[in-house]
Amino acid sequence: MIAEKNNVISIVYELRSDSKEGEVVESLTSENPLTFLYGTGGLLPKFEERLNGMKSGDNFEFLLHSEDAYGPVVENAIVHVPQTVFEVEGKIDENLMKIGTMVPMMDAEGRRLNGKVIALEGDAVKMDFNHPMAGSDLFFKGEVTDVRSASEEELSHGHIHAEGGCACGGNGEGSCDDENCGDKGSCNDDGGEGGCGCGC
């Protein structure tokens, strides 16, 4: 059985930033492999393309250029937000405003975003809503550890299931509905949870 649409693929890998010699960003082992339903749009398209046709035991090693990953750093994704946004029960939470902190937020349309605090400027907090890997090439080295057919339920839900429930991004958490599972482990969103073939 090979990696192709509607099969469930498990992989382990090491992700490095920019090159084969770059900094290790993410490392998934056999204890926490990335398991996903191939061909459903959950991962970066070029990442899946590189795995196409592989079978269990096959090794891979490839570089995704930034334009095939998370694109360039977008300047208008770096914004100032008022400190009042960080109020919890009427009091500003100083811990949330520490430089380097990732803060989950929501835009005017109700979409979830992760922003990184990069500076405090007067009454405003400067935040970067670019994906953490925007502007970086991604170097992957790993192995396909399992390939199986998806169940009818997995195909109808559009994501994999583990024993006892839904595996959102391969971590087995949550229930099988879109609210809890829909984008966890997704690698073309704004920093979803779990392993991702992307350095989320």
pLDDT exceeds cutoff 80 at 187: no
pLDDT value of position 176: 38
pLDDT value of position 153: 87
Task: Tell me: do 116 and 148 sit in the same domain.
Answer: no
pLDDT value of position 175: 35
Task: Tell me: do 61 and 150 sit in the same domain.
Answer: yes
Does residue 198 form part of some domain? no
Q: What is the pTM of this model?
A: 0.71
Instruction: Please state the domain count of the chain.
Output: 2
**CATH number, domain at 97?**
2.40.10.330
Q: How do residues 20-43 score in pLDDT, each as one tens digit?
A: 999 999 999 999 999 999 988 889
What range defines the domain where residue 169 resides? 7-70+134-181
pLDDT value of position 163: 53
Rg, C-alpha atoms of the chain: 18
Residue 108 CB burial class (10 angstroms; 0-12, 13-18, ≥19):
exposed
Contact (CB, 8 A) for 19 and 137: yes
**CATH number, domain at 24?**
3.10.50.40
